Amino acid sequence: MRHLLSAADLDAAGTTSLLDLGEEMALVQGRPVKKLPALRGRTIVNLFFEDSTRTRSSFELAGKWLSADVINISAKGSSVSKGESLRDTVLTVASMGVDAMVVRHMASGAPLQAARWFADLGLGVHVVNAGDGTHEHPTQALLDAFTLRRHFRAQEDGRPEDPQAPFAGRRIAVVGDITHSRVARSNVLLLATLGAQVVLVAPPTLLPAGVDGWPVEVRDDLDAVLGEVDAVMMLRVQRERMSGGYFPTPREYTVGYGLTRARLGLLRPGAAICHPGPMNRGLEISADAADSAGSLILDQVAAGVAVRMSVLYQLLGGADESGALR
């Protein structure tokens, strides 16, 4: 794997290898000394043009726990604020001899373009897409799959595991602002690759053009769907990306598409509740749902470090061909 730019870059075997390696990396989180020497001498730059808490801090922890040197650069405080272009910024940083660049940008396709510039100039910098506009967020999809796989395996404890398990036959609802969600796009691709059935639930105004060609089922009645799925993933309403009237009022959105206290009773027993964060409590998800026994939201956060350790380890040559640690 040269770069990780899209969930489409991963097939089922490659995804499973990353998730399995993530399980080994998760063991590091429970150690008193959270360090592996795998990437000692490597340099990773986190280049973030958008605000972030979970993604940036987890990539920083992932790199440091693998003993890499990690540098954080944000648009605020860098030459970007003086008018420097994306091309000049990424090539300037790459020319310093860094090994990998984790890029978050408000423009869809920015990490791919950076990878192309590096290839054109013969720079061997690995690129990880940490979220580009409304396009994709592949490591978020990986950590969501990691969290759900653990949940489904716990439910199947003691049963013989199907080769495609634990996602085969599972139905997962992704609910809310699909139009502006890079998380939704990556999750649709990755969960379908793993054999899950994805159901998108949203008002028509928050469904993107071309959704009919996605490998999903599209519904608009959340109440009817909740009793049919094994997990529900609530998406943040991205009001900062909205320039028009996508729904009448926040209250009406919550009534139609929020995971409220009343709707918790419609879920199947054991159904998982996920949210990529940050949450708008009281809008797309209630406090009762976010803090309920079925919520995996904090598990997702914890999984982010392990999964991103796995990705960096694979990209920078810390694993053999089978994906085993060495």
Binding residues: 54-55, 82, 104, 137, 140, 182, 236, 277-278
DSSP 82: G
* Residue 252: CB atoms within 10 Å: 12
**257 to 232, 260, 273: CA distances (angstroms):** 12, 9, 14
Instruction: Please state the residue numbers annotated as binding site for L-aspartate.
Output: 82, 182, 236
Contact 107, 50 (CB under 8 A): no
Give the helix ranges, DSSP H, for the chain.
Answer: 12-29, 54-65, 86-94, 110-120, 138-155, 182-193, 222-226, 250-257, 261-264, 287-290, 297-315
**Residue 79: strand, helix, or coil:** helix
Contact 97, 125 (CB under 8 A): no
Tokens for 178, please give them.
């699909």
Instruction: Please state the residue numbers annotated as binding site for carbamoyl phosphate.
Output: 54-55, 104, 137, 140, 277-278
d(CA 252, CA 170): 30
d(CA 214, CA 208): 10
Tokens for 17, please give them.
């290898």
